[in-house]
Amino acid sequence: MARFTIINTTLAGTGAIDSIVTRRPERNETGYLVCKRAIDIVGAVCALLVLAPVIALVALWIRLDSAGPAFFSQVRVGEGKREFRCWKLRSMYIDAEQRKAELEAQNEMDGGVLFKMKRDPRITRVGRFIRKASIDELPQLWNVLRGDMSLVGPRPAIPSEVARYTPYECGRLQVKPGITCLWQISGRSDLPFDRQVALDIDYAKQRSVLLDLEILFRTVPAVLTARGAY
């Protein structure tokens, strides 16, 4: 029998509430995964074909703006703690990883697992724009095609973050990571880490094709408003 699930996500400190209402039928897990993979392939191929000129132009802009390659790759942790190389358009100076240690004391993300600063000095001029518009994430469509990621799923973490996870927080690693997720459409980096984890685990428990499509649909206005993007 089908049932309805309402997911309420509250942005701490603002009182803003986003609600997703999705009809979640009891499903065959294999059938869902096959359908999800088909959506990933079709969606990634179509998006890459349409957005290839944008990626190329932004890559050139990055090269003209600061020293270093246009593309940046980093080891991330995916489903079942499997590591893979995640691709992005470079939004930081090439010495960003070396400078991170000296900025740790200025971390603005509660919990100490993630590192976030609204005015991170490691971000380039172009980087501020492409991060606001989420353009830096577009190369991850290649990761989706490869099967490392999905269009929808928890954002992939770096190994040093996963090393600090509690057993509960490891629950977000039970599904394939994605380009967008519940907390990406509900405040993004403005949400504290524990709220991000809770939403990821909620998604892992009740994911469905309808929920995935709902998240994809709501990603568009979330990107356009750039709330919590930095």
- pLDDT tens digits for range 31-68: 999 999 999 999 999 999 999 999 999 999 999 999 99
Q: Where are the beta strands (DSSP E) in the chain?
A: 3-10, 17-24, 71-77, 83-89, 150-152, 178-180
Domain enclosing residue 88, as ranges: 3-225
CA 221 to CA 216: how far, in whole Å? 10
User: pLDDT tier at 21 (50, 70, 90 boundaries)?
Assistant: very low
Number of H helices, E strands in the chain: 7, 6
pLDDT at 8: 46
Q: Is residue 230 part of a domain?
A: no
Residue 79 lies in a domain: yes
Tally of structural domains, the chain: 1
* Antiparallel, parallel or unpaired: β 150-152 and 178-180: parallel
For 9-21, what is the mean pLDDT?
40
Q: What is the pLDDT of residue 130?
A: 95
Alpha carbon 22 to its chain centroid, in Å, reads 21
Higher pLDDT: 171 or 3? It is 171
CB–CB of 142/179 below 8 Å?
A: no
How does pLDDT run across 162-176, given as a tens digit for each residue? 999 999 999 999 999
pLDDT tens for each residue of 109-155: 666 577 777 788 899 999 999 998 999 999 999 999 999 999 999 99
Confidence bin at 187 (pLDDT 50/70/90): confident
pLDDT score for 70: 97
DSSP 48-109: HHHHHHHHHHHHHHHHHHSSS-SEEEEEEE-GGG-EEEEEEE--B-TTHHHHHHHHGGG--S
133, 223 in Cβ contact below 8 A?
A: yes
25 in any annotated domain: yes
DSSP string, 105-123: GG--STTSSS---TT-TTB
Cα–Cα distance, 171 to 205 (Å, whole number): 10
Q: Rounded CA gap, 113 and 159, in Å?
A: 11
Q: How confident is the model at residue 25 (pLDDT cuts 50, 70, 90)?
A: very low
**Does the structure show a pLDDT above 60 at 198?**
yes
pTM of the model: 0.81
Which of 91-95, 100-104, 199-203 is least confident?
Answer: 100-104
Distance separating alpha carbons of residues 158 and 85, to the nearest angstrom? 10
CA angle 39/42/43 to nearest 5° reads: 75
- 77 part of a folded domain: yes
Check residue 108 and give its pLDDT: 60
* Percentage of residues of the chain with pLDDT beyond 90: 63
Calculate ∠ Cα 209-23-15, nearest 5°. 100
Neighbours of 85 (CB within 10 A): 11
